[in-house]
Structure 1
Amino acid sequence: MELRHLRCFLAVAEELHFGRAAERLAMSQPPLTVAIQQLESEVGAALLLRNSRGVRLTAAGSALLPRARALLTSASQAIGEAREAAHGLSGNLVIGFAGTMLYRGLPQMLRDFRAEHPRIKLSLREMNSGEQVIELQHDRLDAAFVHTSRVPAGMHQILVASQTFVACLPDHHALAGARSVKPSQLAGEPLALVARAVSPDYHERTLAMCSAAGFDPVSVHELRHWLSVVSMVAEGLAVALVPAALQQCGMAGVRYLPLSQKEAALPRYETRCLWSAARDQPALGLFLNAVRTVAQAG
């Protein structure tokens, strides 16, 4: 069943006049008559009765009319949605993020993007950096916010943020009242950090900072989430070196102190937005514009 046949039928059924229907469709009457005949042949029943008194619907035509309207409306909506998607005006995006992005610009990006593009649906998935890279490679994410410099081939990237590390200490710690802390002053303390499997870059950088300061931690507690790291510090069970953005988490029982710049150059904690170079998704381009705006402002 062709849409053009349904359009012809609908015009005649609503006008109940072949001449007016042909004029409405900007066509001559003979091809309109042929289209109706072809549709009737496909249905296997007469749809319209035409005589000297005019045109009327048969029982089959009356049954088909509401369905024809619905089909044509649905087809028109589908075409409109496809056009909007092609221009990035609608669509669905699945965005991966590491938890600290909640304190480093992600909420602002989402608010700004949703305000400007309300018809694009965003679905968020919290994962560690390694998991996000795997999901990107399998086309299960449109974009990902990761904490790694190990960007696979075939991925584009935006450097969203580069922040310092700070010392995170229990608020009753002997150094809690200091203005800053040298990494070497944490020697002999249990150290909480995110596990190597979760964030290998951070894990290695943290231990490298300790090594550069001349010590190896007496014990290491490896956790899956940043807030777990801060929680362990708040309970007085460890100290930690964490990204400065975690100061915004508002957890009680901890103090954050800057690390002394007199020691060896301290590494940065970098956040990147990654996406596949092969991803053909116009809505993604609009989202990446929002990411760049926040990144440049930061």
Structure 2
Amino acid sequence: MELRHLRYFTAVAGERSFTRAAEKLRIAQPPLSRQMRDLEEELGVALFERGSRPLRLTPAGRFFHEHALQILERADELRITTRRFGEAGRRQLIIGFVGSALYGGLPDVVRGFRAAHSRLEVGLIEMNTVEQIAALKEGRIDVGFGRLRFDDPAIRREVIVEESLLVALSPDHPLRERETLRFVDIAAEPLVLYPRSPRPSYADQILSFFRDRSMEAQVVQEVRELQTALGLVAAGVGISLVPQSVQHLRRHDVLYRPLAEDSITSPLIMSFRASDTSPEVREILEVIRAIYNTSRSIVSSPAN
């Protein structure tokens, strides 16, 4: 049994189809089916219920799938860690981040970390949370700052802060006179939603607030960038819901109003590999705690 057998098997189990798995793996279906038959013969058990549509795993197959995933994750961690040892002469920390994190404490975190580690190369790459998880597993970044909660045993996450959301309005919007808005006040307003893609994203957090209240969001336009959303708000196209830190981006043509409901928040989350015990990751956490002035501002959120 080789790692490629495990990768082929998990692809078939995940896609629940030999055809789709073969396309994903970029191999022909007959060799893939043959590899799976060879694996079953080696194990002495059937892993798939081949008469089912979509394809289902047998009880033995489910057991094997669970452990195959763990083995592949450990193999990926070993590959990443070994590569890091090979790069020991070139110390670096690569940070992935969502664009809205730049309006909060992330610039202070990076500046403080750079000041304490002048010989360490610090790089920043903008990417959404889903892309950050893949990049962490592949070793392309060391730390991610995103807004989506997720469960992945290979990744540890730390909630840095729960940001209240603000309603962004045009200067002549009828709701501009109110100091505080309730969610019901904005439910029927045309909504400018971002980011348009890829999903899931911050946009899905916003839509969930409507669904939780049995309301339907009146999405008038979906855009890729926060700045574009604010530009459309300024033009009177609609309103938008933005993290509180975005008000630091002072625009004369956009007003911000808080929501009365305390539960309408968006987290800023730091993510890193669960197996990463490097001093750089530990020290950037210390910088975050210093900036937010208390370790209680960071709540550990292990995967369940």
Residues 159 and 295, structure 1, Cα contact 8 Å, conserved in 2: no
C-alpha change, 1:219 and 1:103, in structure 2 (3 Å) is: closer
Runs of 5+ unmatched residues, structure 2: 1-84, 298-304
Q: Which residue of 1 aligns with 2:279?
A: 282
C-alpha displacement at 1:277, in angstroms? 1.9
Query: Is the partner of 2:189 in helix, strand or coil?
Result: coil
2:198 and 2:164 mapped to 1: Cα distance? 20
2:288 and 2:95 mapped to 1: Cα distance? 12
C-alpha change, 1:212 and 1:184, in structure 2 (3 Å) is: farther
C-alpha displacement at 1:126, in angstroms? 0.9
Amino acid at match of 2:93: L
Matched, 1:192 2:192: yes
Matched, 1:240 2:240: yes
Query: Is the partner of 1:271 in helix, strand or coil?
Result: strand
Amino acid at match of 1:294: I
2:139 and 2:219 mapped to 1: Cα distance? 39
Residues 196 and 223, structure 2, Cα contact 8 Å, conserved in 1: no
Query: Is the partner of 1:200 in helix, strand or coil?
Result: coil
Q: Which residue of 2 aligns with 1:57?
A: none
Aligned residue-pair number: 209
TM-score (norm 2): 0.62
Select the structure of larger CA radius of gyration.
Answer: 1
Matches within 5 A, 1:75-114: 91-114=91-114
C-alpha displacement at 1:266, in angstroms? 2.8
Matches within 5 A, 1:163-242: 163-195=163-195, 197-198=197-198, 200=200, 202-213=202-213, 215-242=215-242
Q: Which residue of 2 aligns with 1:134?
A: 134
2:202 and 2:158 mapped to 1: Cα distance? 19
Query: Is the partner of 1:114 in helix, strand or coil?
Result: helix
Q: Which residue of 2 aligns with 1:121?
A: 121
Amino acid at match of 2:216: D
C-alpha displacement at 1:280, in angstroms? 5.4
Residues 196 and 204, structure 1, Cα contact 8 Å, conserved in 2: no
C-alpha displacement at 1:286, in angstroms? 2.4
Amino acid at match of 1:242: V
**1:137-182: per-residue Cα shift (whole Å, max 9, x none)?**
1110011101111142211222111111111111110111211112
CA RMSD of aligned residues (A): 2.4
C-alpha displacement at 1:292, in angstroms? 3.3
Q: Which residue of 2 aligns with 1:266?
A: 263
Amino acid at match of 1:237: V
Runs of 5+ unmatched residues, structure 1: 1-81
Query: Is the partner of 1:175 in helix, strand or coil?
Result: helix
Query: Is the partner of 1:224 in helix, strand or coil?
Result: coil
C-alpha change, 1:126 and 1:179, in structure 2 (3 Å) is: same
2:98 and 2:199 mapped to 1: Cα distance? 10
C-alpha change, 1:288 and 1:113, in structure 2 (3 Å) is: same
C-alpha change, 1:232 and 1:220, in structure 2 (3 Å) is: same
1:292 and 1:134 mapped to 2: Cα distance? 26
Amino acid at match of 2:170: P
Amino acid at match of 2:259: L
2:260 and 2:92 mapped to 1: Cα distance? 45
C-alpha change, 1:272 and 1:129, in structure 2 (3 Å) is: same
Matches within 5 A, 1:16-165: 91-165=91-165
C-alpha displacement at 1:296, in angstroms? 4.7
